[in-house]
């Protein structure tokens, strides 16, 4: 019986040695990158910020260039340090012109118009697109913009009713 055991071990041992896989380790170098900066700008008087009143316009106002006169509004920011930034306005886009903010739905609302947002030079800022780069100073910053109604079709087919909308803005720091 010892011969059988010895024979079994002699035949099995090489097979068992082949089954043993040597342990292998690799070292990988991970690089972590980032920076620490001061907090971003905060909105001054956010709780008391009045709505932008675009006014009351007749449907005939949209016959020419399809727009109402621009109405100025100001975003008041307090920034901890000077920085470069763009601003992006977002909200529900008009289905006929996705560069415009859609008028809130419901009964008794106007149709055929959207709200166009413009920078301080009255250049349009397309919805969901960043504005031109602007410099924000350390401390208080008053950013001037304009808003106006714009017909969404040409020729303008505008119906009467409430013409309200809501937008958010995001500061994109560089």
Q: Looking at the predicted structure, is the pLDDT value of residue 170 above 80? A: yes
DSSP 133-147: -EEE-SEEEEEEEEE
- Report pLDDT digits (tens) over 77-113: 999 998 999 999 999 999 999 999 999 999 999 999 9
Taking the CB of residue 27, how many other CB atoms lie within 10 A of it?
4
Contact indicator for 142, 41 with CB cutoff of 8 Å: no
Full set of structural domains in the chain with CATH: 42-173 (2.60.40.1090)
pTM of the full predicted structure?
0.77
Contact indicator for 99, 90 with CB cutoff of 8 Å: no
Cα–Cα distances (Å) from 29 to 19, 24, 26, 33, 82, in that order, read: 31, 17, 10, 13, 36
């Amino acid at each position: 019986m010892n011969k059988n055991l010895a024979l079994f071990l002699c035949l099995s041992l090489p097979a068992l040695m082949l089954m043993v896989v040597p342990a292998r380790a690799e070292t990988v170098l991970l690089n972590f990158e980032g920076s620490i900066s001061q907090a971003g700008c905060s909105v001054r008087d956010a709780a008391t910020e009045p709505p932008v009143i675009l006014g009351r316009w007749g449907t005939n106002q949209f016959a020419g260039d399809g727009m109402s006169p621009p109405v100025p509004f100001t975003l008041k920011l307090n920034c901890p340090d000077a920085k470069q930034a763009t601003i992006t306005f977002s909200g529900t886009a008009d289905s006929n012109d996705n560069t415009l903010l859609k008028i809130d739905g419901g009964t008794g609302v106007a149709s055929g118009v959207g709200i166009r947002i413009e920078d301080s030079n009255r250049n349009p800022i397309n919805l969901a697109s960043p504005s031109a780069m602007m410099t924000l100073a350390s401390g208080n910053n008053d950013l001037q913009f304009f808003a106006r109604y714009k017909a969404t079709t040409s020729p303008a087919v505008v119906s009467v009713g409430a013409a309200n909308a809501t937008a958010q803005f995001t500061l994109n720091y560089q």
